[in-house]
A and B are shown apart, each in its own frame.
Chain A
Amino acid sequence: MSAVAAHFSYWVTLFLMIAGLYILIARGNLMKKLIGLGVFQTSVYLLYIAPGKLVGGTAPIVAAGFTTYSNPLPHVLILTAIVVGVATLALGLAITVRIREAYGTIEEDEILERDRTGER
């Protein structure tokens, strides 16, 4: 297998990770930031799941006639991560809603501006 094909899954992961990171840093809107965080999270799912795959294998459910299975451990870890991820997303959104109530905006720079001038 050539180097490109062998590492393609990592590069897809990296692209998603960087896109998430970029949204997270460059965008001032808190909702958009949370979505960027979500993209980053899904890239991590891929980072864990992709190395567990074996070509010619099947899902890790033991049955007669199959001998090769993909690795079950990353699947377990990522199941936990997905559920925890949605919990943190819910908490982040709740905080965003509260910020919106207190400041009237969810744009980062406007919030900082209001903090500086002491106006609520």
Chain B
Amino acid sequence: MAVTVLAMVLQRNLFSVVVLFSIYSFLMATVLVALDAVDVAMTEAAVGAGVSTVLLLGALHLTGGTEAKRLERPLVPLALAVAVGAVLAYGSLGLPSFSDPLAPIHTHVAPRYLGASVEETGVPNVVSAVLASYRGYDTLGETIVVFTAGAGVIALLRRRRKGR
């Protein structure tokens, strides 16, 4: 995965970058399966690797080809990125270690969801139960965001046709 990302940073042919991004999304989906997040992995493979790639290829068709080479060396962004990374790595040392059953994430609401959701919603898949039942308003908000984005895309691309 790291190799794919590095190749994406270096590659200037945008078509290759899009294909690499698709490969990267599939690798990410595999990692998510390994982390027991099967629902998320399925969504990532379908949406991240599928829909995103189609959208990127479509946009690439309309905007075309390769990326221009910048004149100055990108030292400032590199330094900034490394500095942010160093600070975050220092911060990560204070986080609970991997797969620690006593970490706050596992002791807050999760046990209740796992224990009571079958009884309360009748859905054995806890992710679906939480998504559609306990956090239903969240999902409603999500659909509003998607609707707004779709409306925005249509508005932007329709104006273009009228302008011609």
Which residues of A does B touch, CB under 8 Å?
A: 1, 3, 5-12, 14-19, 21-23, 25-29, 31-32, 34-35, 38-39, 42, 45-46, 49-55, 57-63, 69-76, 78-80, 82-91, 93-98, 100-101, 106-107, 109-110
Contact = CB atoms under 8 A, between A and B. Distances in A.
A35 B156 contact: no
Contacts of B99: 53-55
Nearest to A78: B40
Interface residues of B, dominant DSSP: helix
Interface residues of A, dominant DSSP: helix
Interface of B: 1-2, 5-6, 8-9, 14, 17-18, 21, 24-25, 28, 31-32, 35-40, 43-44, 47-48, 51-52, 55-56, 58-60, 62-64, 67-68, 70, 74, 77-78, 80-82, 84-85, 88-89, 92-93, 95-101, 103, 105-106, 109-110, 113-114, 117-118, 124-127, 130-131, 135, 138-139, 142, 145-146, 148-150, 152-153, 156-157, 159-160, 163
